[in-house]
Amino acid sequence: MGVYDLIIKRRTIRKFKQEKIKKDILIDCLNAARLAPSAANLQPLEYILVTRALDKVFECTRWAGYLKNGKPKQHERPVAYIVIISNKEVSKDAKYDAGFAASNIILTALERGVASCVIGSIDRERLAKNLSIPKNYNIELVIALGYGKQKSVEEEFKGDVRYWLDEKGILHVPKKRLGDIVHEERFFR
Ligand SMILES: Cc1cc2nc3c(=O)[nH]c(=O)nc-3n(C[C@H](O)[C@H](O)[C@H](O)COP(=O)(O)O)c2cc1C
């Protein structure tokens, strides 16, 4: 599948099969992150791959703020995490770099059949302690990974950005229409 088709197909998944991801796939994801664009090519990002101490990451993450029961149950939790951290001494603001790296990770994973959820709502203090992350590093994002056990579909945006679950457990994610967010040549027509 080409990149555009992958992008169109990708939706955040928050329920996962308890099936391990081959190390090669995770290494591809990390290598794709390594080669992401970087402001001034400073490359402040580093990565912590977690496939064993999963609870240490899960207990620091918050899930699906718009749903009542959006948090994965014990048997639906991610089977791997990539924690994106940045060295503050290399760059004070690595947010754009982290976004590009995250995007490379989730698309590389999806191309290999692995679903993901980007997590920014993190108990950073606790996670730093759990993973022995030094003080001169910021925790940027956590990427939760696993084979998907949930269906999620794009929905027409009707004034409310909140995603919802239907009676079949399918997640519906409102997305704004292209015509409402694209300005041609200048802002006002
Ligand atoms: C920077 C960022 C932070 C996010 N943080 C969380 C989070 O903490 N918990 C969560 O469940 N989802 C999180 N998400 C996933 C978004 O909720 C999701 O991308 C959004 O609802 C749109 O759905 P889609 O990815 O299927 O298009 C985050 C996404 C981004 C880009």
Residues 132 and 158 in one domain: no
Residues 70 and 120 in one domain: yes
Q: What is the pTM of this model?
A: 0.98
Percent of the chain with pLDDT over 70: 99
Residues 140 and 177 in one domain: no
Ligand 1 neighbour 121 (Cβ under 6 A): yes
Question: 43 is in which domain, residue-wise?
Answer: 3-149
Ligand 1 neighbour 173 (Cβ under 6 A): yes
In DSSP terms, 118 is beta-bridged to: 143
Residue 90 Cα to ligand 1 middle (Å)? 27
Residues 177 and 92 in one domain: no
Residues 10 and 76 in one domain: yes
In DSSP terms, 48 is beta-bridged to: 83
What gap in Å lies between CA 181 and CA 156, rounded to an integer?
Answer: 14
189 vs 53, residue with greater confidence: 53
What gap in Å lies between CA 187 and CA 4, rounded to an integer?
Answer: 26
CATH label of the domain that carries residue 185: 2.20.180.10
* HSE-up of residue 39 (Cα within 13 Å, Cβ side): 13
pLDDT of residue 106: 98
Ligand 1 neighbour 117 (Cβ under 6 A): yes
Residue 11 main-chain phi, psi, to 5 deg: -135, 150
Whose C-alpha lies nearest to ligand 1, atom 26?
11
Whose C-alpha lies nearest to ligand 1, atom 9?
63
What gap in Å lies between CA 112 and CA 29, rounded to an integer?
Answer: 10
Q: Which two tokens stand for residue 1?
A: 């599948």
CATH label of the domain that carries residue 113: 3.40.109.10
Asked if the model's pLDDT at residue 156 lies above 80, the reply is yes
Residue 155: which pLDDT band, with cuts at 50, 70 and 90?
A: very high
Q: Which two tokens stand for residue 18?
A: 């308890």
Residue-wise pLDDT for 4-17, tens only, equals 999 999 999 999 99
Ligand 1 neighbour 15 (Cβ under 6 A): no
Residues 113 and 161 in one domain: no
Query: What is the domain count for the chain?
Result: 2
Residues 43 and 82 in one domain: yes
Residue 185 Cα to ligand 1 middle (Å)? 30
Residues 142 and 156 in one domain: no
Q: Dmax of the chain from CA atoms?
A: 55
Residue-wise pLDDT for 42-80, tens only, equals 999 999 999 999 999 999 999 999 999 899 999 999 999
User: For the chain, how big is the Rg over CA atoms in Å?
Assistant: 17
Whose C-alpha lies nearest to ligand 1, atom 23?
12
Residues 98 and 46 in one domain: yes
What gap in Å lies between CA 12 and CA 115, rounded to an integer?
Answer: 7
What gap in Å lies between CA 61 and CA 168, rounded to an integer?
Answer: 26
Residues 104 and 159 in one domain: no
Residue 188: which pLDDT band, with cuts at 50, 70 and 90?
A: confident
Residue 118 Cα to ligand 1 middle (Å)? 5
Ligand 1 neighbour 12 (Cβ under 6 A): yes
How many CB atoms within 10 Å of residue 91? 19
